[in-house]
Amino acid sequence: MNSIAQNLFEIKKELPSEVKLVAVSKFHPVEAIEQAFAAGQDVFGENRPQEFEKKAQAFAGRGIEWHFIGHLQTNKLKMVLPYADMVESIDSMHLLEAVDEWGKKNGRVVPILLEMHVAAEETKQGLYEEEILDVLFRAGSFKNVRFCGLMGMATNTDVEEDVRADFGRISAFMGYLRDLFPEYSDFKELSIGMSGDWRIALDYGATIVRIGTAIFGERQY
């Protein structure tokens, strides 16, 4: 079994230098993050508020960039937003408004990605294309969030054509939005691709990939 450092080395060998690697450390102990950090990895993603807060506090002041990548309930904002360098998973208008409101009260502008619903599973969270358009047409009214791009998850399947179709759809929509809203210069991140499909995501213009298992091994529950 490869070490965490070896896994990171192998992935970074294939990853274009302009693509950001978010090491998804959810369910893994602080020691695993230490090993990845020692190997030069400084961007980490978590998907549960309590765990996010605990780990962000444990590494405070050490130059780690923290991404929140899970479903965020509005009553958990105070566990996440003080520490998040980016919230990748804004999946509803209700959450967007709550994050903007928190930013206003706390004097912060929160960098976010809008999570687009593309996967075939209805259980997946996310905004539909028309909802994302609606948000961006009135982006100016959200003074305390910075719209940085889109996040999406492909359908959980081994059928590569289905994964490509999902990534193709989100990538095409991203291109459409960039053309439609050229004034939003920050709106350029496309966070697609996880341990099983990140190489495919690169074909569709991913600027961020979120990799957990391929770095840390199977989750430790």
pLDDT digits over 28-61, tens only?
A: 999 999 999 999 999 999 999 999 999 999 999 9
pLDDT of the residue at 2: 85
| pLDDT (average), residues 201-205 | 98
pLDDT digits over 73-87, tens only?
A: 999 999 999 999 999
pLDDT digits over 152-200, tens only?
A: 999 989 999 999 999 999 999 999 999 999 999 999 999 999 999 999 9
Displacement of CA 7 from its chain's centroid (Å) = 20
The whole model's pTM is what?
Answer: 0.96
pLDDT digits over 70-123, tens only?
A: 999 999 999 999 999 999 999 999 999 999 999 999 999 999 999 999 877 666
Query: How, if at all, do strands 65-68 and 20-24 pair?
Result: unpaired
Amino acid at position 49, single letter: P
Q: Among residues 59, 50, 124, 54, which one has the least CA distance to residue 92?
A: 124
Amino acid at position 95, single letter: L
Which of the listed CATH numbers 3.40.50.620, 3.20.20.10, 2.115.10.20, 3.40.50.460 matches domain 4-216?
A: 3.20.20.10
| pLDDT (average), residues 135-154 | 97
Checking if the pLDDT of 1 tops 90, the result is no
Helical segments of the chain, H only: 4-14, 30-38, 49-58, 77-80, 93-106, 129-137, 160-180, 198-202, 213-216
